[in-house]
Amino acid sequence: MESGPAIFAGAAFALFGGALLLWTTVRTLHREPVVYGVAPGTAVALTSLFGAAFLVLGVWCFARL
């Protein structure tokens, strides 16, 4: 019974983290700003860090099944 919420949370975290990393990569490769009003290096570093953290959190949720 407890695996349903874990699957949903794992999927949500993994999809969001993967999408955030993909979006950051595409914006960086096209030399477009990742976040307006923030230094490019800081924006890429923070969005990559949070994207990887969400992806790891999603994998952790799946590992707990």
pLDDT tens digits for the chain (65 residues)? 578 888 999 999 999 999 999 999 999 999 999 999 999 999 999 999 999 999 999 999 999 88
pLDDT of residue 43: 95
Residues 6+ apart with CB under 8 A from 3: 65
Tell me the C-alpha to C-alpha distance, in Å, between residue 9 and each of 3, 19, 25, 54, 57: 10, 15, 24, 11, 9
Q: Which domain holds residue 56?
A: 3-63
CB-facing half-sphere around the CA of 18: CA atoms within 13 A: 8
On whether the pTM is more than 0.85, the answer is: yes
Tell me the C-alpha to C-alpha distance, in Å, between residue 46 and each of 2, 3, 41: 33, 31, 9
CA–CA dist 31, 22 (Å, integer): 14
* Number of domains comprising the chain: 1
